[in-house]
Each structure stands twice: as C-alpha cells, then as structure tokens.
C-alpha cells in the first residue's frame, strides 16, 4: 500500500520535473530567439539586405526604363532589376559611406519588415514616403528607416544630436535613379509619434508640400526652434527643397529622431561653413521629453504650427 507520504513525494517530483521541463523549453526558445535576432538575422541582412551593387558611381549615362519614357541613370539598372521599387541611394558619411538602397511603394507599410530582395526581416528597407515625387521633388521629401540596435539602417542617425558630429559631416547625398544630389544638413531634432506625447499636438514634420511661401518659411522656423543646433550659413528660401530622414528614438516611447537637409542649389558650392554653427540654447522638445527628463516645459502653452 502506497503511503500518503509517498504520494506527496511522487506529486512533488512530477511538479518539479514539469517545472524543469517548462524552464528548459523557455530557455531554449529564448536562446533561439536571441540567436536569430542578434546573430543570424544581422548576418543575413549584411549578406543580402543592402546590396550596394552600382556599376559605376561616376557614370552619368542614362537609359530607359522598360515600357516607360523615363530616363534613369544606367549605373542603377542592376539594382532596378533586383527590385523595381528601387528609387535611389542614400549616403550618410557619418554612418556608412557604402550607401543605403532606398525604395518607394504605394504605401508606407510595405517595407517596414521587407528586405530589398523581398526577404522578411525586422530590418526592413529604407523607403521614401509614398506621397513624394522624386522626378521633380516636393518641398519636403521624407525617407524612413528603422533604428536598429546594431547601428544599421538609420540606427546611428542620432549621432547628429551632437554639433561636433554635424560639423564633421554637414552634408549627405541622396541620388535618385534620375539624378545625383547633395544636401546640406541644417537641423536635427526629437519629435513625437502621437499627439498624446505633446499635449495633444504632433508637429507635422512629414508634410510634403505647403499652401504658401509664408507657411513654408514658418515651418522652417519651427524646425529650427526644435533643432539641437542652427547654422546661418545654410539659409532656406522659398523654392528650396528639403530632405527629411526619420527614425525611431528611445528617449521616450514612440519618439522620433529627425535630420533635415536642404538641396544644394544649381551653381552653389557643396561646402558648408560650419564655423557659423551654434548650439540651440532654447531648444524645443515634445512634452514627453520634459516628462522623461523631469523638467518643466517652457513651450507648454506656446502656439502650435499648422499647415493650413
């Protein structure tokens, strides 16, 4: 006859084995997830996620896109064959001089978890806002990319929160399939991803066009008020074209880190006088930033910029 003591011991042993088994399964699953997230997927991304094949970066010859009257740069033909959504290369010397492939789809969701060659990946692919026209450029062209922990994609964009990094790398290049362009950086700032993080307000930094020259200049002033630094050597006038790089930031939940640059004008030097760059001592942040830093928001009751 089995004693109560033996029954309790048997039950306890069964529970111990069950708990141990569950713990082992959880450990194995966690290890597998971490291995994939931090080793396997980054390796695959480095191998296939950002194919930088360009026949000749100095090649200015053009060719026609099959079935279209659009003339494209011949050096990008190979990348277009890999992915017909390819629209250009982004070069940010402060991050990666090899350049990033940039695509454009019919919406802003397709490439959030889709690699350049069609593979599923949390790295996604840098993409231009679907509203933008890259043949003629809107007032503001936006490129989005993930902030990856290993620094890839736009994971190191926040280097531009430091004025010294800006002074070292004050320009970037975004070459479209149609033509090459250099852009002069003039602002870097933190924005919010939803209205709840800034007293019911979300700064419209991803506006692509403006109803008037006055609204455009008002927008630029608002951008500069939020920037870590300013540089009067990079002036902005009506008719100028802006390039905006946007990625996530960890300073508070759903934060955005943004860098803005102005297209180099025809006949203008690509050099930037960084000696005129100054730290913004009265920088404006979303309310969530002040909450996170334990500071009072001096702009809490300030007027809100609107496009209309």
Q: DSSP letters along 149-180, please?
A: TTSTBTTTGGGGGSHHHHHH--EEEEEESS--
Distance from C-alpha of 12 to C-alpha of 263, rounded to nearest angstrom:
72
What token pair was written down for 147?
């902030």
Q: Which fold has domain 54-293?
A: Sortase; Chain: A; (2.40.260)
What pLDDT shows up at residue 28?
47
What pLDDT shows up at residue 171?
98
Single pTM value for the model = 0.83
What pLDDT shows up at residue 68?
61
Distance from C-alpha of 105 to C-alpha of 86, rounded to nearest angstrom:
9
What pLDDT shows up at residue 21?
63
What pLDDT shows up at residue 26?
47
Where are the chain's structural domains? 1-49, 54-293
What is the block-wise mean pLDDT of the chain (308 residues), using blocks of 10 residues? 60 67 52 42 47 60 66 94 97 89 98 96 97 97 93 90 98 97 98 96 98 98 98 98 97 96 98 98 98 96 93
What pLDDT shows up at residue 97?
76
What pLDDT shows up at residue 70?
80
Largest distance between two CA atoms of the chain: 100
What pLDDT shows up at residue 51?
56
When computed from its CA atoms, the radius of gyration of the chain, rounded to whole angstroms, is 25
DSSP E strands, 27-181: 62-64, 71-73, 86-92, 96-103, 126-128, 140-144, 171-176
The burial class, CB within 10 Å (0-12 / 13-18 / 19+), for 295 is exposed
Distance from C-alpha of 262 to C-alpha of 267, rounded to nearest angstrom:
14
What pLDDT shows up at residue 41?
45
Question: Which residues have a Cβ under 8 Å from the Cβ of 201 and sit 6 or more positions away?
Answer: 195, 304
């Amino acid at each position: 006859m089995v004693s109560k003591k033996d029954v309790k011991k048997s039950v306890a042993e069964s529970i111990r084995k069950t708990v141990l088994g569950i713990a082992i399964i959880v450990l194995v699953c966690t290890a597998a997830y971490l291995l994939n997230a931090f080793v396997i997927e980054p390796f695959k991304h480095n191998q296939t996620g950002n194919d930088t094949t360009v026949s000749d970066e100095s090649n200015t010859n053009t060719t026609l896109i099959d079935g279209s009257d659009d003339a494209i740069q011949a050096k990008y033909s190979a990348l277009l064959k890999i992915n017909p959504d390819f629209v250009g290369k982004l070069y940010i010397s402060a991050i990666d001089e090899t350049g990033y492939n940039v695509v454009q789809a019919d919406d802003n969701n397709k490439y959030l978890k889709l690699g350049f060659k069609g593979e599923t990946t949390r790295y996604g692919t840098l993409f231009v806002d679907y509203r933008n026209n890259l043949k003629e450029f809107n007032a503001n062209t936006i490129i989005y990319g993930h902030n990856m922990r290993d620094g890839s994609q736009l994971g190191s964009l926040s280097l531009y929160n430091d004025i010294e990094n800006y002074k070292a790398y004050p320009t970037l290049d975004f070459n479209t399939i149609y033509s090459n362009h250099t852009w002069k950086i003039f602002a870097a700032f933190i924005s919010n991803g939803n209205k709840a993080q800034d007293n019911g307000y979300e700064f419209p930094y991803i506006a692509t066009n403006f109803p008037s020259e006055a609204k455009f200049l008002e927008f630029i002033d608002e951008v500069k008020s939020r920037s870590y630094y300013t540089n009067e050597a990079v002036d902005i006038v009506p008719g100028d074209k802006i390039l905006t790089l946007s990625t996530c930031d960890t300073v508070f939940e759903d934060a955005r880190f943004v860098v803005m640059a102005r297209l180099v004008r025809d006949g203008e030097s690509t050099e930037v006088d960084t000696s005129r760059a100054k730290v913004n001592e009265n920088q404006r942040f979303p309310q969530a930033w002040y909450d996170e830093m334990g500071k009072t928001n001096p702009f809490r009751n300030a007027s809100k910029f609107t496009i209309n």
